[in-house]
Structure 1
Amino acid sequence: MPIEWNEQYAVGDARTDSQHRNLFTYVNRLEQLIEEGRKRGLDRQAVENLFIFLDAYVNTHFAYEELCMTLRACPAARKNKEAHDKFLAFWNEFNRQHNPNSVGLVALEELHAALAGWLTQHICRIDVALRKN
């Protein structure tokens, strides 16, 4: 079931909110990719596009968001950085173990679960602290 963006996820910074919306889009695409993969096999080009997006996302979005929190003296800045570091470690390990040409459905389901949890837990509990600053 797709996870829809709504205002509860908004942090009040247009760039950050736009980046978050993009992540929602890709997490939902991953869900579709998995469903289609069960029926017809995985679209390897779509998997590769997803890996490219996620790699760019964690490296650019996390840095930008951490900068925003630091500049605004956000009390959640340290907790945010720690959560980002933990997710980066997960992503780097996932990337080390899998590549777009050979990753299977089970691994993609694990990735989807991690990303869906990130959307609903991290953004709503930590990132929204930017609203107050």
Structure 2
Amino acid sequence: MPIQWSEQYEVGDPRTDSQHRNLFDYANQIEQLIEQARAGRLDRQAVEHLFVFLDAYVNTHFAYEELCMALRGCKVAQKNKEAHNKFLEFWTEFNRQHTPQSISTAALENLHATLAGWLTQHICKVDVALRSTV
């Protein structure tokens, strides 16, 4: 089931909100990749594009968001950085174990579940603290 963006996820910083919406879109694309994999017709080029996006995202978005929180004196800045580091550890290990050419349906399901949980939990419990600083 697609993860729907809603106002509850908005943090009040247009760039951060745009980046979060983009991540929601990619999480939903993983669902499509899972269906393709189950049908035996996985688009490996789309998986490669996903990996490239996630690599860039965890580096650029996390850095930007951490900077925003630090500059605005956000009370959860350290908690946010720790959560980002934990996700980076997951992504690094996932990347070590899987490639776009060899990824399994189960690995895509794991990635989707992790990302969906991250989106709904991290944004709603940590990132929204930016609202009070905007």
Structure 2 counterpart SS, 1:40? coil
Question: Is 1:106 aligned with 2:113?
Answer: no
Structure 2 counterpart SS, 1:96? helix
Matches for 1:1-133 after TM superposition, within 5 Å: 1-133=1-133
Q: CA deviation at 1:36?
A: 1.8
Indicate if the aligned counterparts of 2:9 and 2:128 stay in contact, CA closer than 8 A: yes
Q: Which runs of 5+ in 1 are unaligned?
A: none
Q: Which runs of 5+ in 2 are unaligned?
A: none
Distance 1:39 1:100 in 2: 17
Q: CA deviation at 1:90?
A: 0.4
Q: CA RMSD in A?
A: 0.6
Q: CA deviation at 1:41?
A: 2.5
Runs of 4+ in structure 1 over 3 Å off: none
Once the two structures are superposed, what CA deviation does each residue of 1:53-80 show, in whole Å capped at 9, x if it has no partner? 0000000000000000000000010000
Aligned length: 133
Could you tell me which amino acid in structure 1 is paired with residue 100 of structure 2? P
Distance 1:29 1:108 in 2: 11
Task: Give percent identity, aligned residues only.
Answer: 74
Structure 1 counterpart SS, 2:39? helix
Distance 1:41 1:21 in 2: 27
Distance 1:32 1:99 in 2: 18
